[in-house]
Amino acid sequence: MFVPKRILFEKNALNYKMGKDIYDFFKENKNVEIINLSTNRVKENIPGENLYDFYRESKKTLVVGVKKGMKFQSCKPSAHYQLPLISGCIGQCQYCYLNTNLGHRSYMKLNVNIDDILEQAQKYIDERLPEETIFEGSATSDPIPVEPYSNSLKYTIEFFSKKEKGKFRFVTKYTDIDTLLTIQHGGHTDIRFTLNTNKVIKDYESNTPSLNKRIEASNKVIKAEYPTGFIIAPVFLYDNWKKDYKNLLLDLNNSLPKNILHPLTFEVISHRYTTRAKNIILEAFPNTELPMNNEDRTYKYGQFGYGKFVYNKQDIEEIKYFFSNEIESIFHNKIIKYII
């Protein structure tokens, strides 16, 4: 569970039940500074004269706010829309795309007007009938660390459990999922866990749970009969990478409960970065050892119109061959969605 150093309540946030609940949860905690904002100027209330310091203080900050505009962003190809419950993440993963997307907004922000957000989701569902509409809850966040006191996901999962043509999905590295295990979900929420080797977690994923803890949490979710998946990302090529990733897959398989209701899904994503991301990473993590030598990569334009430095074609083919063969041979009830 994320216990912030400071909580910033935006104007009107305490007029909502979720805002009041969060305030009541922390009001007696002398280690948590509570700040009521009158102008919604968040940045000036977080210390840090440069990105290095501001980033680290932001990761200790929770902003409790009210979502104003109700136009949802698209989320292709994984879903039809982003569901704007939460933004930000408490992890300090050096490679993370949120370092680029959020920039100086790397704090956690929780929107408390959840009824308004779900009312808008219902409108999108109705517009697409009779087609199914899928909403992604972690396009710009990892929503789990604030769940024990926000119940944002619990409320959302229960909402979608009653929707024949509405589905919800999110991905996490975190393990605070116990409040989600006994609620009605109807199989309409897909929970995925991001996994990586112990080396990658140790070297690049500060302030995140261990691989074993993530696997333990995924087993709880599987036993609760949620559709469950695994994102293995980002895949790094280093000495003995095949041995490490194979051990990851074997450890996962050996831990799985019997009689899994839904096929496990797998998504495998190799490491890539943009020039902008590299510049921000080097500012936030000046001592990083991330492999970001442009000369070792291939520059490739993506579907959103900007280029990324990816592993060369031969390396990508080796990654695809390795993971497709290993996942196929190790797991039985599974679906490989993509390997890129």
Query: Which pLDDT tens digit goes with each residue over 149-178?
Result: 999 999 999 999 999 999 999 999 999 999
As for how many domains the chain has, the answer is 1
**What pLDDT does residue 333 have?**
94
**What pLDDT does residue 305 have?**
64
Rg (CA), the chain: 20
**Could you give the CA distance from residue 265 to residue 159 in angstroms, rounded to a whole number?**
23
**What pLDDT does residue 304 have?**
60
Q: Is residue 315 part of a domain?
A: no
Q: Is the pLDDT of residue 38 over 80?
A: yes
**Could you give the CA distance from residue 210 to residue 200 in angstroms, rounded to a whole number?**
11
Q: Is residue 325 part of a domain?
A: no
**What pLDDT does residue 100 have?**
66
Q: Is residue 204 part of a domain?
A: no
**Could you give the CA distance from residue 248 to residue 197 in angstroms, rounded to a whole number?**
6
Average pLDDT of the segment spanning 125-131: 97
Average pLDDT of the segment spanning 282-295: 94
Please answer whether residues 244 and 198 qualify as being in contact, where contact means their C-beta atoms are separated by less than 8 angstroms. yes
* Strand runs labelled E in 20-60: 33-36
**What pLDDT does residue 298 have?**
96
Q: Is residue 285 part of a domain?
A: no
Q: Is residue 306 part of a domain?
A: no
Amino acid identity of residue 285, one-letter, is F
Q: Is the pLDDT of residue 303 over 70?
A: no
Please answer whether residues 83 and 156 qualify as being in contact, where contact means their C-beta atoms are separated by less than 8 angstroms. yes
Q: Is 76 helix (H, G, I), strand (E, B) or coil?
A: coil
Q: Is residue 175 part of a domain?
A: no
Q: Is residue 5 part of a domain?
A: yes
State the average pLDDT for the chain: 95
The boundaries of the domain holding residue 146 are 1-169
pLDDT in tens, 132-143: 999 999 999 999
The rounded percent of the chain whose pLDDT value lies above 90 is 89
Domain containing 128 — which CATH number? 3.40.50.12110
Q: Is residue 250 part of a domain?
A: no
